[in-house]
């Protein structure tokens, strides 16, 4: 569910992060506290390969091909 190309800081004071194409309020993703993040890092060896896609409001695990592409871009 996309919220559009609107600056996210416009919704900092609200409990939602924008509106969908259907006009419904899109709830913010619940971010874990530091203890939950620590436990995830201890239990998942590939925790660092997860990113938050704020535009589509979801967590994405990067594939091996994605990571290889990022390494090639970084190396020039």
The DSSP result for 2-38, as a single string, is ---S--GGGGTTSSEEEE-TTSPEEEPPPPP-HHHHH
Q: Which one, of 43, 14, 10, lies nearest residue 27 by Cα?
A: 14
- 28: how many CB neighbours lie within 10 A of its CB? 16
pLDDT, average across residues 38-46:
90
pTM of the predicted protein model: 0.56
Instruction: State the Cα–Cα distance between residues 54 and 6, nearest whole angstrom.
Output: 11
Q: Which residues share a beta bridge with 45?
A: none
- Residue 71 vs residue 3, higher pLDDT: 71
| Cβ 26 vs Cβ 1: under 8 Å | yes
In a domain, 2, yes or no: no
Q: Which domain holds residue 37?
A: 8-75
pLDDT, average across residues 12-34:
79
In a domain, 3, yes or no: no
In a domain, 19, yes or no: yes
């Amino acid at each position: 569910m996309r919220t559009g190309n609107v600056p996210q800081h416009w919704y900092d004071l609200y409990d939602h992060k924008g509106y969908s194409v259907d006009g419904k309020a899109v709830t913010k993703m619940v971010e874990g506290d530091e203890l939950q993040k620590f436990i995830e890092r201890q239990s998942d060896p590939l925790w660092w390969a997860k990113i938050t896609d704020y535009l589509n409001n979801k967590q994405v695990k990067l594939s091996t091909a994605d990571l290889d592409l990022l390494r090639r871009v970084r190396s020039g």
